[in-house]
Amino acid sequence: MNKGNLLLAQSGGATAVINASAVGVIRQAIESKAFDKVLCAHFGITGILKEDFFDVSDITEDQLNLLAKTPSSAFGSCRYKLPNVSENGEIYSNVAKILEKYNVSCLAYNGGNDSMDTCSKIADYLKNIDHSCKIVGVPKTVDNDLEFTHYCPGYGSASKYIATTIEEIALDTAVYEKGRITICEIMGRDTGWLTAACSVAAKVGRGPDLIYLPEREFDIDDFLTKSEQVYRKKGHCLVAVSEGVRNSNGYVGADERTDSFEHVQLGGVANKLCNLVSLKLGINTRSIDLSLPQRAAAHILSLRDQQDALLCGKHAVRLALEGKSGVMSAINFADGTTVCSEIALCKVANTVKHVPKEYISKDGAHISPEFDEYILPIIKGEVELEYEYGIPRYFDNSKLKKLQIK
């Protein structure tokens, strides 16, 4: 009997647990015995359109365990937002034909806002043409900006890494009697979730003195006053700032990014603020951009985040097996335990969940203690790693088998 195949696609910027979500999907697909083959698209939707697939039907449990600890999309990703059907119907009919050709009965799409938009459009299209393939979304983004899920897998591990790194930077920058004003730029163009995670280090007294999120208008004069006050008192000052902080003129870090030297990649807001501090206050500065390791540092995974990513991936397949389509698997916390639920993709797509006002202090430069209850469970627990040659052993995707087309 022909049971159909499951197809997984990874999309958007990678995270430290995007492969844990994949393992959830693959494991559930294999365990359910509801599919003939388990396929993974090479480079997301691009791989679907090119009919470029890995066949992981025979993947071993050992491989899955290693994959679940490995950062960044093992099957490749893409940054491709589908046009609307009205703009380019051909792409949709191609996707439908390819799903038909490869007998795909479930497409699990793992990504963030844009990916859920893509996923939603495909689901709508297939529904309209009475295509039987079920489309399910699996949430993923370090930014944590997806609505309708308590948090996004990827955010927990990124936060654990950021809070740990900022704790260590705080220790390092406090060793001299007369130090500097150090400004750390944290990912988050539109939301401050990742920057807010620095508050965990501040809570134990080894964190930033000032924390700025894009949710509050950034007042440069107030920032200069506050950082100078801290510096005069302590001899050093550590500032955490979201890359996307803005004021009435737009992004504070935008000038360097959009001028004629755009290709120079000067970095953004931390450099700019350091420059301002030097000019206006005459105090030595250092700017640090935590950069890519924020989303790739699987050597310090949050156990909760990894486990929830697995659960969420499994739940997505279960939803498809229940006959549902056009839904995303979501995370809820019930009495501290993770319970997965579902939400219509059309509701999630293109939403942005901001850090609520109550998590930001009145002065706009700190995080309120109320945030603890939210962040602490999400960054809890450690994942035991395997080491080889003194560094973490990660999944080697060069050994994956491509689907042989008959």
Question: Scanning residues 130 to 189, which ones bind its own copies (CB under 8 A)?
Answer: 160, 163-165, 167-169, 171-177
CB nearer to its own copies: pick between 34 and 293: 293
Sheet of 104-111, strands arranged across: 53-55, 38-41, 5-10, 104-111, 134-139, 327-334, 337-344
In angstroms, the CA 40 to CA 80 distance is: 17
Query: 165 with 290: CB under 8 angstroms?
Result: yes
b/e sequence 361-390, b meaning 16+ C-beta within 10 Å = beebbbbeeebeebbebbbeeebebeeeee
Minimum Å distance from CB 264 to its own copies? 5
Q: Give the binding-site size for its own copies (rule: CB under 8 A).
A: 72
Contact set for its own copies, span 76-135 (CB under 8 A): 76-79
**3-state secondary structure at position 108:** strand
Q: Vertex 14, ends 9 and 17: CA angle to 5°?
A: 85
C-beta of 369: minimal distance to its own copies in Å? 12
- DSSP of 180-247: -EEEEEES-SS--HHHHTTHHHHHTT-S-SEEE-TTS---HHHHHHHHHHHHHHHS-EEEEEETT-EE
Inter-residue contact 305 to 17 (CB < 8 Å):
yes
- Give the residue with the Cβ less far from its own copies, 167 or 215: 167
- Shortest Cβ 386–its own copies spacing (Å): 11
Q: Does 195 bind its own copies (CB under 8 A)?
A: no
Q: Given the complex with its own copies, which of 169 and 194 has the nearer CB atom?
A: 169
Restricted to residues 246-305, the positions that interact with its own copies (CB under 8 A) are 263-267, 271, 274-275, 278-279, 285-289, 291-293, 295-300, 302
Query: Minimal distance in Å, beta carbon 112 to its own copies?
Result: 14
Choice among 55, 124, 130, 143 that is catalytic: 143
- Among residues 189 and 299, whose Cβ is nearest to its own copies? 299
Closer CB to its own copies, residue 95 or residue 274? Answer: 274
28 binds its own copies (CB under 8 A): no
CB nearer its own copies, residue 10 or residue 191 = 10
In the region spanning residues 40 to 79, those forming contacts with its own copies, defined by CB under 8 A, are: 43, 46, 70-73, 76-79
Judged by CB under 8 A, the stretch of 226-234, 333-341, 357-365, 380-388 that binds its own copies is: 380-388
State which of positions 349-378 bind its own copies (CB under 8 A): 376
Q: How far is the CB of 203 from its own copies (least distance, A)?
A: 6
Single-letter amino acid, residue 94: N
Q: In this complex, which beta carbon is closest to its own copies, that of residue 89 or of residue 235? A: 235
Q: Quick check: 204 binds its own copies (CB under 8 A)? A: yes
**Does 14 participate in binding its own copies (rule CB under 8 A)?**
yes
Rounded to an integer, what distance in angstroms lies between the CA atom of residue 359 and that of residue 356?
Answer: 6
Among 33, 221, 390, 405, binds its own copies (CB under 8 A): 390
User: How far apart are CB 275 and its own copies at their closest, in Å?
Assistant: 5
Q: Does residue 396 bind its own copies (CB under 8 A)?
A: yes
CA distances to 20, 90, 183, 222 from 309, in Å: 6, 34, 32, 40
124 is catalytic: no
Q: How far is the CB of 250 from its own copies (least distance, A)?
A: 21
Answer for which of 259, 382, 401, 402 binds its own copies (CB under 8 A) is 382
Based on the shown chain and the rule CB under 8 A, indicate whether residue 200 belongs to the binding site for its own copies.
yes
Among 389, 404, 405, 406, binds its own copies (CB under 8 A): 389
CB-based contact 169:238 (threshold 8 Å): yes
Label residue 359 exposed, middle or buried (CB < 10 Å: 0-12, 13-18, 19+).
buried
CA-closest candidate to residue 280, choices 239, 242, 240, 223: 223
Smaller CB separation from its own copies, 33 or 178: 178
Of 87, 90, 130, 205, which lies in the binding site for its own copies, with binding defined by CB under 8 A?
A: 205
**Buried b vs exposed e over 65-104: b needs ≥16 C-beta within 10 Å?**
ebbbbbbbbbbbbbebebeebeeeeebbeebbebbeebbb
Any contact of residue 236 with its own copies (CB under 8 A)?
A: no
Give the residue numbers annotated as catalytic, written as ranges: 143
